[in-house]
């Protein structure tokens, strides 16, 4: 069975899933999609060599932009999701001129600081944002219908996967991989380093903004503490690390494995499931540093190689 067939089968399962699964499982999968998209967007930025801690910042920004357009302007929630993405993209474009001049730990720390700064600003603009207490919507998007929300997030996740593959198969792959490997070589070979960093930073911020907007509309609620929660940074990073960085498949596999495990652990160990969850991450990172996807793929390749060499003798 080749990979194209596997993708088609998985896609078919994802499309019919809500028809035979109950709302609980539909919800679990919907949450996995949220973190999958964030994880992929974080990985796309990492492919340029920049370790961003700003995932939650643009997630929260998108959530608030969407909330305000619905609450204050009374716009359509679906349209407000577009606004959430565009607003996150615009802010990342402006901030990019400052933060993308920074490298390594300085870039990482600054993006983390941006998250706190956004959260503080939102908290203090209480007229517009509802302040520290947050704001509640009259109703969730699609009146809270889990199936419709599922399909919306499935669609968005597929778009994000598509963007990730476009990165992999176009000149962008060559540009950002070169920048990660050796920026001086990249510059000397005609690559406009800043332009590509800005492009990836803005695209990944738009993704984070859109996902944040959907999340806000799904739960009909925004609040500085939980909307800018570091969960939207740390879980996506853990998923990409467990699945395997610098790839599309790695974060997908990581999101499903960790997403399903965390749900299961919540059921069997309601108190302390996070400890087991953390242990799993530590073990995978220690024993499979290149992630599950590349480790398994590497094993399969060497097994095939051995079989072939046996055939020759």
Partner 1 sequence: MTTLKTDNIVKKFGGLTAVNKLSFSVDKGEILGIIGPNGAGKTTVINLIAGTLPVSEGKIYFSETDVTNKAPHIRNQMGIARTFQTVRPLKDFTAIENIMVGSLFGQKKDLKAGREYAEEIAQLLNFKNINKPIDELTVLELKKIEIGRALASKPDLLFLDEVMAGLNSEEIWELIEIVRKLQQQEMAICVVEHIMKVVKELTSNVVVLENGQIIAEGPYEEVSADEQVIAAYLGEDY
Tokens of 37: 């998209």
Footprint on this chain of partner 1 (rule: CB under 8 A): 170-171, 174-175, 177-178, 180-182, 184-193, 246
Cα–Cα distance, 199 to 292 (Å, whole number): 29
Residue 222, helix vs strand vs coil: strand
Pick the closer one to partner 1 by CB: 161 or 176.
176
Pick the closer one to partner 1 by CB: 206 or 241.
241
For the CB of residue 176, give the shortest distance to partner 1 in the complex, in Å: 11
For the CB of residue 178, give the shortest distance to partner 1 in the complex, in Å: 5
For the CB of residue 175, give the shortest distance to partner 1 in the complex, in Å: 7
Pick the closer one to partner 1 by CB: 145 or 192.
192
For the CB of residue 197, give the shortest distance to partner 1 in the complex, in Å: 13
Tokens of 170: 């176009």
Q: What is the 3-state secondary structure (H, E, C) of 135-184?
A: EECCCCHHHHCHHHHHHHHHHHHHHHHHHHHHHHHCHHHHHHHHHHHCHH
Residue 289, helix vs strand vs coil: coil
Pick the closer one to partner 1 by CB: 143 or 188.
188
Q: Which residues touch 115 (CB under 8 Å, ≥6 apart)?
A: 53, 54, 56, 57, 60, 228, 230, 233
Pick the closer one to partner 1 by CB: 24 or 174.
174
For the CB of residue 182, give the shortest distance to partner 1 in the complex, in Å: 5
Return the residue matching tokens 């994880």.
39
């Amino acid at each position: 069975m080749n990979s194209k067939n596997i993708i088609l089968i998985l896609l078919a399962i994802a499309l019919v899933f809500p028809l035979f699964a109950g709302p609980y499982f539909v919800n679990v999968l919907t949450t996995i999609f949220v973190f999958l998209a964030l994880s992929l967007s974080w990985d796309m930025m990492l492919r340029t060599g920049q370790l961003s801690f700003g995932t939650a910042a643009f997630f929260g920004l998108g959530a608030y932009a969407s909330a305000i357009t619905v609450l204050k302007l009374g716009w359509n929630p679906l349209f407000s999701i577009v606004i959430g993405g565009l607003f996150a993209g615009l802010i990342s474009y402006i901030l990019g001129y400052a933060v993308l001049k920074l490298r390594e730990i300085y870039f990482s720390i600054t993006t983390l600081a941006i998250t706190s700064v956004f959260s503080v600003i939102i908290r203090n603009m209480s007229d517009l944002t509802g302040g520290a207490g947050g704001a509640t919507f009259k109703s969730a998007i699609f009146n809270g219908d889990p199936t419709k929300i599922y399909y919306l997030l499935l669609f968005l996740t597929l778009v994000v996967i598509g963007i990730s593959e476009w990165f992999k198969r176009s000149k962008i792959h060559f540009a950002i991989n070169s920048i990660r490997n050796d920026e001086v070589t990249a510059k000397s070979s005609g690559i406009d380093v800043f332009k590509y960093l800005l492009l990836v930073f803005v695209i990944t911020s738009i993704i984070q903004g859109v996902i944040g907007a959907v999340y806000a509309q799904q739960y009909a609620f925004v609040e500085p503490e939980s909307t800018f929660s570091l969960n939207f940074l740390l879980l996506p990073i853990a998923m990409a690390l467990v699945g395997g960085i610098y790839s599309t498949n790695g974060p997908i596999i990581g999101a499903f494995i960790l997403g399903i495990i965390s749900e299961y652990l919540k059921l069997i160990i309601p108190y302390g499931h996070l400890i087991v969850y953390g242990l799993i991450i530590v073990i995978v990172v220690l024993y499979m540093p290149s992630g599950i996807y590349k480790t398994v793929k590497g094993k399969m390749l060497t097994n095939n190689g051995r079989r072939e060499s046996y055939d020759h003798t």
